[in-house]
Each structure stands twice: as C-alpha cells, then as structure tokens.
Amino acid sequence: MAAPFFLFATGIENSAPTIDGGKTRVDQMEASNHYARWREDLALAVEIGTSVLRYGPPLHRTFLGEGRFDWSFADESFTELRRLGLIPVADLCHFGVPDWIGNFQNPDFPHLFAGYARAFAERFPWVQLYTPVNEMFICATFSAAYGWWNEQASDDRSFVTALKHIVRANVLAMHAILDVRPDAIFVQSESSEYFHAEDPSAIAVAETLNARRFLSLDLNYGLRVNSAMYEFLMDNGMTRAEYAFFMDNSLKHHCIMGNDYYVTNEHRVSQDGSSRSAHEVFGYNEITRQYYDRYRLPVMHTETNIAQGPRGDEAVNWLWKEWANVLRVRNSGVPIVGFTWYSLTDQVDWDTALRERNGRVNPLGLYDLDRKIRPVGAAYRKLIADWRDVLPAQSVCLSVPLVTPDAYTERWAVERRDSLRQQRMKRSAEPSNPT
C-alpha cells in the first residue's frame, strides 16, 4: 500500500529566530508575504509538479502558552493542503521559539515542545511526515556558538545546553507524535557539513569539527559519540543521565535522514579554528555517503538552492548539478527517496544569515515574491515531469510506507495504524519510557 513515487518536494520557509537580544523576530513567512498569499503559494506548489511540501505553522504565533494554541492559520492552510492533495512534511520548529519560552537555554523547552507536537498531531491526524525541529545542529550553532540568533551566546557550554535541549525536544516530540500517529515518519532535515584543513597545522582542528558536525544526529539516533566528543559534552554541562536518555530513546526505525546541502556547507579551517567557505569541493554525493555510512538510513535531499545571478542561469545549473549528485547517490546503492528545492519563493535577508532585518530579497526561490516563475522553477517543473515515472521503477529506490492524505481513512490504513498502536502500547509497558 506504500506510495510508489519518488518524493519531489519544495518548501515554504517558516524560519523565525530572534535577534537584538530577543527584541526583534525575523519571520520569513511574514517577509515573503505568505500570510497574505498562502492560498496562491500552495497552488503554485501544485503547479510546479511537486507532491510534497515542507510546511508548518509559525510556532511563535501558534503556541501561546503551555496547553494554549491558536490554530486558526493552520486550520485553514492545512485544510487547503489536504484538498490540493499535497503531502506535508510538518515543519514544527524552525530556528525560533515563542517569546514566552525565551530561547534554547530554557530547560523547559523539550517537554513544552513535545506537548505542542502532540497537540498538532491530534489536530491534524492525517499528517504522517514530520520534521519536528529543523536543522538541529545549525540551530544550536547559530544560536549558542556563533552568537547570531536567539540567546546569541558564543561559548561551548551554551552550545551544548542548546544542543541537548533541541535534540531532546525532537526526540520527545517524536514519541508524542507516535502516540497519536503510530505510523508517523520523521524526515530529520539536517545540514550536511564538511571541514577541510587549510594546511597540516589545521588537521587536528578539522578532525574535531568533523566529529562535532555529527553530534545532533548521533544523539537523535542513539549512536554513541567518540571519546573526544563525549568528553566535550560532559565538560560542558551534559550529564551522564542526559546522555543515557539519548542512547535509550532512539526512534531511528521511524526516520528518513534528510540531508541539506548548499555551496556554503564545506569549510576551509585554519589552525586557530577560524573558517571560511570552501565552496563545493566534495559535493552532495560524497558528503551524503559519509552520513549514510554512519547512520544507514534512507536518505532524502531536503534542502538546496543558489541565487539566480547576473547570467540568469546560475540556479538552473546548480539544480542540474544537485540532481546529478542525487542520481550518483542512488546509483551507488544508497536508498534515496526524495529531492527538494528550498524554497518555493524567494527569501529575505538570508544574505546576512537572518542576523539583520534589511528587507533584502534573495533570489533563491522557484518563484519570485511577485509569484512569477523563475528559470529554475521552469527547470524544476521539467525535471519533475521527466523523472517522476522513471525512478520508482528502479529497484534501488526504496518504497516509503506513505499513506497519502486522501487514503488516511481507508480500511487498510486504519488497520495498519491500529496494529502499530498495539505494538507501541506493548513496548510502552517496558521500563524504557522517555521522561
């Protein structure tokens, strides 16, 4: 009963970190005028030919307090998603939390967010695919290591605190969602990084950073970190009990590993730990295979883009290159199930990584902010049309056990959920419940 198609996707970005010491929120849905044009945007996702949309309600506008929610926007937009036949990957937390929670240093965030995730799943039980917390490593790094967003800290203890709270929130949210939707699938969108040593003196630093890049997924998937990373975590505030929680609560078998790749994901590192962009050296294929070899999970390319430059074909060429990398990953035997150009429309102020509110439009979308298709949009539409029926026929493509929204109430789907729910209830009687 699994959906037989490759998951061609785009997304509507709901990033909303705070800057200026928490006084200013940078809301991408507001900047792109999505709140006013959401019906049009959802129709454009259908027009381009995608079957899947990375999409979620704005957390800071929806989650009003513990047990208090404003579902008005989500009710309308998710009803329309279902009517259009788009399959959402529910993006519940994208780089920011509501003002009343504060930031990712708040130890209450994990259980509060799990309550939100459960409430969302109960409100929209037909949603099966989720990214509970987007790009956990980047969120912790930009918020608590680089000092750019939210708590705007830049020390190891703040980074470890943010990381453990973010990943715990993600794990608890997965458990909460599975209590409601036992066949839920989690597409854990995470930035795939690599650090190149500038010269021999930087080798040790690069090796440390290349171990650190895996921390969020190691904890999320319950994979024991190496001894150096264990010491790093323990030295900076993680307790043995907190570490044990991650090792004991893996839900890896419910997951697809989402790998995000941009031209900025590879770094040249100096001896003093400073880094700059290396541009594309290994590329998506090589770095994704590194992550796959570590976690052995089905893969989805969950984000990429590049600006439409002065020639007008830069984004088109990047799309072709990323798709060639996806095919290379697939042909090497890695089960890859989907591809995403992110996002549907142009973004605003990502040229400063959302550190400033300048109102500068970044031409990264399939459509511009007037909702006119860009060359890369036309190219993606053709790519989807050309490849949609080819990939599922290839045996190396994994068939995702996906229940489309229109099949949610069908007997086979209900029986499958009931069976999985009974299995989950049986396991919950064992002594390893999350706390």
Q: Residue 345's closest CA among 74, 29, 81?
A: 29
Asked if 55 contacts 89 with a C-beta cutoff of 8 angstroms, the reply is yes
Whether residue 43 has pLDDT greater than 70: yes
**DSSP-derived secondary structure for 165-179:** HHHHHHHHHHHHHHH
Q: Rounded to whole angstroms, how far apart are CA atoms 178 and 433?
A: 13
pLDDT digits (tens, 9 = 90+) for 90-129: 999 999 999 999 999 999 999 999 999 999 999 999 999 9
Q: What is the pLDDT of residue 428?
A: 76
In three-state secondary structure terms, 53 is strand
Q: Rounded to whole angstroms, how far apart are CA atoms 55 and 35?
A: 13
Q: Can you list the domains of the chain with their CATH numbers?
A: 7-428 (3.20.20.80)
- The count of other CB atoms within 10 Å of the CB of residue 208 is 16
Q: What is the pLDDT of residue 106?
A: 98
Q: What is the pLDDT of residue 1?
A: 38
pLDDT digits (tens, 9 = 90+) for 336-391: 999 999 999 999 999 999 999 999 999 999 999 999 999 999 999 999 999 988 77
Average pLDDT over residues 255-269: 96
Q: What is the pTM of this model?
A: 0.95
Q: What is the pLDDT of residue 429?
A: 75
Asked if 256 contacts 298 with a C-beta cutoff of 8 angstroms, the reply is yes
Asked if 284 contacts 192 with a C-beta cutoff of 8 angstroms, the reply is yes
Q: What is the pLDDT of residue 424?
A: 87
Which residues lie below 8 Å from residue 372, measured CB to CB, with a gap of 6+? none
- pLDDT category at 426 given cuts 50, 70, 90 is confident
pLDDT digits (tens, 9 = 90+) for 173-192: 999 999 999 999 999 999 99
Average pLDDT over residues 206-218: 97
Whether residue 281 has pLDDT greater than 70: yes
Average pLDDT over residues 126-153: 98
Whether residue 397 has pLDDT greater than 50: no
Both structure tokens of 243: 């570490």
Whether residue 162 has pLDDT greater than 80: yes
H/E stretch holding 77 reads helix 72-84
Percent of the chain topping pLDDT 70: 96
pLDDT digits (tens, 9 = 90+) for 288-311: 999 999 999 999 999 999 999 999
Asked if 300 contacts 258 with a C-beta cutoff of 8 angstroms, the reply is yes
Average pLDDT over residues 9-13: 97
Mean model confidence pLDDT for the chain: 94
Q: Rounded to whole angstroms, how far apart are CA atoms 76 and 29?
A: 15
Where would I find the beta strands (DSSP E) of 57-209? Answer: 63-65, 68-69, 87-93, 129-133, 185-191, 194-197
- pLDDT category at 392 given cuts 50, 70, 90 is low
Q: Rounded to whole angstroms, how far apart are CA atoms 373 and 345?
A: 9
Q: Rounded to whole angstroms, how far apart are CA atoms 377 and 233?
A: 43
pLDDT digits (tens, 9 = 90+) for 380-390: 999 999 998 87
Q: Residue 10's closest CA among 386, 383, 408?
A: 383
**DSSP-derived secondary structure for 282-307:** SHHHHHHHHHHHHH---EEEEE----
Q: Rounded to whole angstroms, how far apart are CA atoms 29 and 35?
A: 6
Q: What is the pLDDT of residue 401?
A: 85
- pLDDT category at 425 given cuts 50, 70, 90 is confident
